[in-house]
Amino acid sequence: MKGYLLATLLSAAAVPALAQQQPQFTHYGLNGMYLNPAYAGIKGQTEVNVIGRYQYLNLGNSFNDENGSPRTGMVSASVPVLALNGGVGLAVYYDQIAVTKMTNATLSYSQHVKLGAGQLGIGVQGIFTFLSKGSYRPNDPTDPFVPESGSDHKFDAGAGLWYESPKFYAGLSANNLFRQTYTLQSAIRDASGKIIGYQNTSQVLGENHAYLTAGYNIEASSSVTVTPTVLVKAVLPGNYDAATKYDNQHNYSVEAGVRATLNDQFWAGLNYRQQESISGLLGYAFGADNRYRIGYAFDFIAFDQAARAFSSHEILLSLRLPKAVLFTRPAIRTPRYSF
């Protein structure tokens, strides 16, 4: 099973890159709750992550009015529910690119099933998304499909599978299962470009996104663990029964990296994002049981710097509580019923 999954992941590395509607994180190997609802509680301990990302720092634009650099903030939590042999998860992020702003919140539940040396999580999630657009500068002042300070919100759903064992993990998930359409306010302008009214004609489609991720812990020594990781991302446009939804290689991209951890306290790693960047990661854990973690990722934009920027930056703050133990009251035995 492990060999088949790893072979599948590695074979995906040959496909070109895509453009996504959802934010990407270099700390994906430490942020399973964002990727997959089945991750909720699968590690048996409460985890809380806070990530701030500034992508394409100082990205310029021709009019010098809106900052075109994507900026993302995210909070996620994964909590085991031992009484149900499952877990609940929450992830909230805010993403802004120029005049486009998106707030997304997901609530997840995962049911855990013993499978071999590990556990299989089967997860579902509810999704709430609020999308807003600011003012654009249309080429055609009379174009009725240019958003003008419009906004809309929708509910959607996601699902996933996550397998977790002491040495190996893998997850497959998909979100925006209903492919909701967001209708945004547009401006009605006269020939001179003056706004004379508003109408709801501009629409944005929330496409399906899918994620396939895996990692393997290699004990290089008694104190050092080396973890190769991979993440395959996909945007799947169109209806589920359309062959073109799945067979366009341009809808897929891949990230791959490796992370070395010393005594579960210090880590350093490298990551490659297809046709975009090469990244370095550093992190430090401290406190009782190394429960507090802080990490930093620097992305060097190695491709198309003229259209992007030189670098992206990401900070991770994390809390990991000790593994939960199901408390049961011990049986009280008495000789009264021994006869």
| Its pTM surpasses 0.75 | yes
Beta carbons within 8 Å of 229's beta carbon, 6+ residues apart: 28, 29, 213, 214, 215, 256, 257, 258, 259, 271
* The pLDDT value given to residue 112: 98
User: Which range (64-78, 217-231, 255-269, 319-333) has the least confidence?
Assistant: 319-333
Closest alpha carbon to 15 in 335, 253, 210? 253
Mark out the alpha helices in the chain (DSSP H runs).
2-11, 32-35
Q: What is the pLDDT of residues 106-119, one digit of tens each?
A: 999 999 999 999 99
* The pLDDT value given to residue 10: 32
Q: 198 in helix, strand or coil? A: strand
Please compute the mean of the pLDDT values over residues 48-56 and round it to a whole number.
Answer: 96
pLDDT higher than 90, residue 215: yes
Beta carbons within 8 Å of 313's beta carbon, 6+ residues apart: 53, 54, 57, 296, 297, 298, 299
Please state the φ and ψ torsions of residue 92, each to the nearest 5 degrees: -135, 130
Q: What is the pLDDT of residues 7-17, one digit of tens each?
A: 333 333 333 33
Please compute the mean of the pLDDT values over residues 285-302 and round it to a whole number.
Answer: 96
Q: 166 in helix, strand or coil? A: coil
Give the residue with greater pLDDT, 94 vs 204. 94
Residue found under tokens 């939590």: 77
Average pLDDT, the chain: 87
> What is the CATH code of the structural domain delimited by 2-326?
2.40.160
Q: Taking the chain, what is the end-to-end CA distance rounded to the nearest angstrom?
A: 54
* The pLDDT value given to residue 15: 34
Q: What percent of the chain has pLDDT over 70?
A: 88
Q: What is the pLDDT of residues 224-251, one digit of tens each?
A: 999 999 999 999 998 888 888 999 888 9
* The pLDDT value given to residue 314: 98
Which pLDDT band holds residue 18 (cuts at 50, 70, 90)?
A: very low
Which pLDDT band holds residue 335 (cuts at 50, 70, 90)?
A: low
